[in-house]
Structure formats: structure tokens, C-alpha cells
Structure 1
Amino acid sequence: MKRLFFLTALCLALGSGLKRVTLTRHRSLRKTLRDRGQLSQFWKAHKLDMVQYSEDCSAFTAANEPLINYLDMEYFGQISIGTPPQNFTVVFDTGSSNLWVPSIYCTSKACTEHARFQPSRSSTYQPVGIPFSIQYGTGSLTGVIGSDQVTVEGLTVTNQQFAESVSEPGKTFLDAEFDGILGLAYPALAVDGVTPVFDNMMAQNLVELPMFSVYMSSNPDSSLGGELLFGGFDPSRFTGTLNWVPVTQQGYWQIQLDNVQVGGTVAFCKDSCQAIVDTGTSLLTGPTKDIKELQKYIGATPVDGEYAVECSNLNVMPDVTFTINGLPYTAHLPSLHPHGVQRRHGLLHQRLPGHGRRPSCWPPLDFG
């Protein structure tokens, strides 16, 4: 059994034989598009009305990967593929299971502006030839499966199958500050039945313990986003005792959420509900009806296709507390101001609604 440490955000790891991957924090693609005044153009180009988006999710299936998932990824790390190594910046994503990077055979601008894998330059590369495709609602990321050695901070996984993308949807990935995705979820989510990187690390006895842990810095002004550690955890990254939370279903890192409190009163998930720990997004998500009600609690209103609150009202906003395995984890909204939020014209922007990689339609809520 493999384990993911979950604490206030997620935890990290330390000890002999453990491997640390430094995570750097960059601006998310959504923030970049917003700063350029291009976010509303993005919604129109992809035929998405984000205020109405959560009203009808029937068009999306479990095999459908909505494009907006990648808009909010902010924490990236380095890996290499092949011999000699070819380097890539990837998102370590607990919400998916495949590894993919752009192929040299991909000629779209989204690919040519990023590092691309060249199989002919790797002496350890083996073609597999299985077609690979992830649907993104308005387009597909397509490619082919290959096999090579993948190195993550000194840990070299041999015969790792991964996807080489030859087509990426629209212009979405053009401004992204990552080249690809390294999925850390369970094999049940893997496209084409590919064994995930971490599962191969365990099978090849590369890690001391069958666990990994993640520390994410809360300092938005630092480019050092945190650390990912394979094989254990780092007790210096947290205080108190770890809250061990059972995985309820091995696909996503899925856990039971006891309840959600607003201002000290249980408002949602009153009889417990299921939740997913996802490092691939900066968002909190929940059922559409509940998130809309939560927006009313905090006074959020539609602005330019998103939701926003007046920064002057932060001090009177209620705390939002998530109870997990009997322990409370509180988002104290006033403490986010002025460093932890994105403001424009005196507004704090909330990313509602949207659709996540979930069995049902859950719009995101972003406090950061």
C-alpha cells in the first residue's frame, strides 16, 4: 500500500535514503491570461461561460479531461528522460496517473515553445506504439506511448512508459510554464493501463518506504514553492502529530471529509462526504449548489466571467473550516490579505465555477 501524507495542505519528507524534489512556484496560466486581459477571450475561444459553466456538466464524462484544470497549476519540478538525459519541467499531479511530455514531432507552437523529447537522441528509448489521447472538452492531447528511463532527483526508473504528445489543444499550453505532467495517482486512473512512475519506483525498490509527501509553501512572494519527497516525510515541515487519513478508494487520493463549517457552524457535508487531495491545482472544489451558497456567505458576485469579493470586506468574512478525520483545518480569509490573494481594482477574484477531474461536476473555489 502506498501512502500520501495529508496535513493542512500536504506534508513532506526527510531521512536517510529519501529523495527531495524542489518545487518552484510560478504564476498560473489563469493569472497570466488575466494580467494580459486575455482571460475572457479564452472563455469565448473555448465556448465557456464560467458563470453558467457549472449549471450543466452532462457534456463531460469520466474520460473527459476539462481544459481548465491546467489553468491553475503553480508548483513545478524537474525531471529528465532518456540517455543522455533530456530535461523537462513538470507538474507533479496527484489528480492524474500518466507522465506525458511534448514530442519533437509536435510542431504546434504550444510544443515548440517548450522542451520536446527527441527519442532518436536517447540510447535507452524503446518505442511502444500505443496511441495516447486525453480529451479536453474542446480538443485532444494526442500522442504515442514510448518507454525510457525517467530520473527524478537521482532516482532512475527504468523501462518507464510515458506519452509523447504530438498534438496539444488550441493555444492553452502555449503560455504554460510547465512542459508536461507527471501523475502520482493510482494505476486505476492511468490512460492505456500505463504503470505510474511512483508505482515503478516502488516495484524497482528505489524508495525506502512506499510513500511520498509534499510540502507547499504558503509564501506567494517566494519562487521556492516547496518540496516533494519520495520514500518518507520530513518532521521539520509540520508541528504536532500527523493526521493519518485512510484512502477510501484507490483511484484519486480520495478521503472522507467530515464536514465543512462556515463561521463555526456546520454548513456543508453535514453527514460527511468524499474529497480528493490534488496537488495539480491551486483550487478548492465542491458541489455546485454548495459552492454557490458559500459564495453568498462571503459576498462573492460575478465579475468579468469569474466571481469576486470586495477586499474591504475581508475582515468581516467568516472562517471556512474543513474537518478531516476529526481535526479542523481552517481557511482564515482575512489573513490572506494583502499577500495571499490576487487583487484587481479592489477586488479579490474567486475561480467559480468550473469543472474538475471528478466523478461529478464540482466547481472550484480559489482563496489564493
Structure 2
Amino acid sequence: MKITATLISLAAAASLLIVEAQHPAGTAIPLSLNPNHKRNFRAAIAKLAHRYPQLDLESHHTFHPPGAPVDNGARDKGTGSGQVPLIDVGNDSEYYGTVQVGTPGQPFRLDFDTGSSDIWFPTSDCNTQACKAHHRFDAKKSSTYKKDGRPWKIGYGDGSNASGILASDIVNVGGIKVRQTIGLATNESAQFASSPEDGLFGLGFNTIESVKGVKTFLDNAIESKAIAQPLVSVFLPSVRRNGGKGGNYLFGAIDKTRFTGALQYIPVTRKGYWQINISNAKYNNKALTQASEGIIDTGTTLIIVGNAAAAAIHKNIKGAVDSSKDPNIGGWTVPCSLAKTSKDNVAFTMGGKDFQVPVADLAWAPLDKTGKDCYSGVQGGQDGLWILGDVFIKNNYCVFEQSASPRIGVAPLKY
């Protein structure tokens, strides 16, 4: 099926800010806001479509003309933990952080993603338009580079692809240094050219690595005892609630100052994605739907639920309209005024506890210059698998623990 590339064209990010801030048990990577970017609904849906083809999003979100380009005018052993500075691309749409690779380190802007497992970016041997638009790794300048030679490739449903070879080198994430197998792209299709990220930093399980037998960064950091605890904690900021300031990824530690109450741990039901059971969706504490399997995914912008659940949620929102089949819109819409007026909330029940998302956050991106109607932060997809993306995570602190019995800890964020 025809969809847009994984790292879809987005407006240029703000100047890169690299800051190391001391945190309990180590350092972290802060997030910075790009105030000029406008959110892009079609880009968000296109990104989801290639990531989760089983959701069949194209049949639920129709755009005109089919397959047209997206209009972007709209929108080592050490401290035991490490924190990565991230850039907010598109006002809560997507985040990236800077990772150093090789010796001496070469910087790469990578999309930290719990919904995938590969680490990849272009090499200096790649001369396509897409590669030239990004930082490229120069193996000759790294004294710790080791050639692997195995072929590596990733392809997506719209025909976009990247391919190259595997290699290994020192990957430095907020001071955590690990020898890591990486994918070096010697070819990238043109769809990647406009992305602000150089590549991807996967935080999923090794079962979904593109090449079998490759260990993830978390695998290696845990085995080498480079981090004190086998986990990564995620705090994504909210533009609406705190101006998009202060977010971070914290490896090997939990920052208890970032959330209220205690973490509620939910067991992972299937290794690959960070998949868990979601008991219910609620609107103002009223249960709406039955249980579903779900994924908490930092690489996804929106919340995707089954079509019936999406209808049940929006039924409670005055002015909500299902325009999924309208080729000029392509999704659920809500009044933009909700961002300032709504006191309601949607909640997802996990591990016996409700975790809220303010309905104010569902007024996600204006349809047009009038600012009357907005695309909703909750959209429908194929029933059976829900995805809690950044709209959820920017309201709830999430700890991805890769222990013998993997689990996700969740608690309401403290702003």
C-alpha cells in the first residue's frame, strides 16, 4: 500500500542544544522546543501506517489525492545512568536526541523509538540526496570502528527504503558508552531527505531487530553493567502545560521528581514492541470499551484505538466529527476551543489504575487557518491493537524496564 516514508518531511528543527544535567544516580538528555513547527496530521498518520500495517490505517483515514506528497506547510561503565538531550520537533509531534558514535564521537540526531529496535543512520559512502541532507558517519575517522559486513536493509509499505551494511562502534548516549552493532545506510530513498533526524535509535526488544541475532543498545548496556538498572525512563514535555520544557530520556535510573504518587507496573505481554494489556478506556471515569492489547510507543505521535473505541470517546465530545472518509480531512476532528475550555479527561486503565489524558490535549492540530476545528489526538484503526503515543506519554511518566520479567511503570506527570 502507498504511504509516506517513516521519517516523513517535517519543518526544520530548532538549533541543536546539547545539555547534560545532573539527575539522581546520573545524567540525562533534556528536550528542547522547536517553537516554529506546525503539527501535521497527515504526516502523523503516514508514519503510523508504515510502522503498524496491521492497523490498516489507510482504509480508515482517506486523503485526497491518494499517495500525494504531504503538505508540510501546515505543520561504558560509569555513573550507572545517562540522560539524553532531546529536541521537540513539531510542538509535541516528535522528539530527537543527539548520540555520539565512534572515537572521537561523531554526532547524530536520532529518533528515540520504543516501537523499533534498530540503530541506523547514513554512512559517508552514501551519496543519495537523502544521505547528503544528513550527518553521515565516516568510519575512517573512528579508531574504534569494526566492520561487520553483513547486509542490512529496512523497507516500508510506500516503497521507501534504506540499506547498507552492519558494523560496530562505540555508541555514547549521555555518557553511557557501549560497543554496539549499527546499521550504516549506503542507500536511502528520496523520501527521507526532508527529515530532521539522521536516523533511528530503537528501544524495543531484539526480537524485532532487522537482522536476527543483533543485540539492542539496552541489551548491551545491561549486560556490560553500563547502567545501574535495566530500564529507560521517559519524560516528554507538553507545549500546552509547560511550554515544552524540561523533557528527557533517562537511562538506568528513575527521576521520582517527575511524577506524582507511585509507579504502577504493568507486565509486558509480548516481547517485541512494549505490549501490555489495556483493561478499558474511560471518559470522565465512565467505562466505554472492553479490554485490548496495546503498545506504549515513543515513536508514535497520536493515540490510536479501535474504531468502536474512537467513536465511543468522541461521542462524549460536543462538536466532534468523524471525517475519516472525507478525502479533504481524513480523521476525527474536535473543536480547537477544547484546548482552552475543556476540563474533561479520557483515561486508559492499566494494571488496575486509570491514567488520564486531558481532553484539552485532543485538540491536536488545526484543520485550516480559521483555527475552528482541530484534528483529534485520538484516532481510530483496526480493532485489536491500541497504540498510546506521545499524546499519552506527555501526560504520564513511563519507565520501560527490560528485566527478566519486562514491565512498564506508569505514573501521572508532575508539572
TM-score under structure 2 length normalisation: 0.68
**Structure 2 residue runs without a partner (length 5+):** 1-21, 62-69, 71-88, 395-415
Matched, 1:242 2:263: yes
- For the 8 Å contact 1:144–1:165, the answer to whether it is kept is yes
Matched, 1:170 2:163: no
Matched, 1:136 2:160: no
Matched, 1:231 2:231: no
Matched, 1:84 2:104: yes
Matched, 1:53 2:61: no
1:258 to 255, 276, 279: 279
RMSD over aligned Cα atoms: 3.8
Matched, 1:94 2:114: yes
Number of the residue aligned with 2:232: 212
Where 1:120 maps in the other structure, the secondary structure is helix
Residues 230-309 of structure 1 mapped to structure 2, 5 A cutoff: 230-268=251-289, 270=290, 272-298=291-317, 299-302=320-323, 304-307=328-331, 308-309=333-334
Would you say how many aligned residue pairs link Structure 1 and Structure 2? 326
Residues 1-368 of structure 1 mapped to structure 2, 5 A cutoff: 14-16=23-25, 18-26=26-34, 31=38, 53-55=58-60, 74-139=94-159, 140-158=161-179, 160-171=180-191, 173-193=192-212, 194-220=214-240, 222=243, 224=245, 226-268=247-289, 270=290, 272-298=291-317, 299-302=320-323, 304-307=328-331, 308-312=333-337, 315=341, 319-333=345-359, 335-336=360-361, 341-343=364-366, 344=368, 345=370, 346-350=372-376
CA distance in 2, matches of 1:233, 1:100: 27
Corresponding letter in the other structure for 2:173 = V
- 1:338-357 Cα deviation digits (max 9, x unpaired): xx74333212113676879x
CA distance in 2, matches of 1:225, 1:355: 32
1:144 offset after TM fit, Å? 1.5
CA distance in 1, matches of 2:288, 2:352: 16
CA distance in 2, matches of 1:242, 1:154: 26
Distance 1:187 1:132, change over 3 A: same
- For the 8 Å contact 2:279–2:292, the answer to whether it is kept is yes
Structure having greater relative contact order (Cα 8 Å, sep ≥ 6): 1
- For the 8 Å contact 2:29–2:249, the answer to whether it is kept is yes
Where 2:190 maps in the other structure, the secondary structure is coil
- For the 8 Å contact 2:113–2:298, the answer to whether it is kept is yes
Corresponding letter in the other structure for 2:358 = H
1:215 offset after TM fit, Å? 0.9
Where 1:54 maps in the other structure, the secondary structure is helix
- For the 8 Å contact 2:297–2:388, the answer to whether it is kept is no
Where 2:107 maps in the other structure, the secondary structure is strand
1:184 offset after TM fit, Å? 0.8
1:211 offset after TM fit, Å? 1.6
Bigger mean CA offset, 305-314 vs 278-287: 305-314
1:224 offset after TM fit, Å? 3.7
- For the 8 Å contact 2:281–2:309, the answer to whether it is kept is no
Corresponding letter in the other structure for 2:178 = V
Where 1:192 maps in the other structure, the secondary structure is coil
Where 2:131 maps in the other structure, the secondary structure is helix
Corresponding letter in the other structure for 2:330 = E
- 1:80-114 Cα deviation digits (max 9, x unpaired): 11111110111111111110112222222222111
1:362 offset after TM fit, Å? 7.0
1:206 offset after TM fit, Å? 0.5
Aligned sequence identity (%): 29
TM-score under structure 1 length normalisation: 0.76
Distance 1:27 1:110, change over 3 A: farther
